[in-house]
Homo-oligomer: A and B are copies of this chain.
Amino acid sequence: MTRPRPEAPDRPARGRRRASHSLDAVLNATVELLDEAGEPALTLRALATRLGTGVGSIYWYVSGKDELIDRAIEHVLGGVLNEVEGQTGTGDPIDDLRVMAVTLFDAIADRPWLGARFMRNIDVQGNSLRLYEKLGQVALRLELTPLQRFHAVSAVVGVVASNGADMGQEPPQAVVDGSVTREEFFGHHAAAWRALDPEEYPFVHDIVDEFEGHDDREQFLAALELTLAGLRLEAGI
Interfacial residues, chain A to chain B (CB-CB below 8 A): 1-4, 6, 120-121, 124-125, 129, 132-133, 135-137, 139-140, 146-155, 158-159, 161-163, 165-166, 169, 171-173, 185-186, 189, 192-193, 196, 200-204, 206-207, 209-211, 214, 218-219, 222-223, 225-231, 233-234
Contacts and interface: CB of A to CB of B under 8 A. Distances in A.
Main secondary structure of the interface of A (DSSP, over half): helix
A196 B125 CA distance: 8
Stoichiometry, copies per complex? 2
A154 to B, nearest CB: 6
Contacts of A223: 151, 154-155, 158, 227
B136 A169 contact: no
A150 B133 CA distance: 32
A233 B222 contact: no
A231 B149 CA distance: 20
Given A158-B163, A222-B151, A146 B210 contact: yes
A132 B6 CA distance: 36
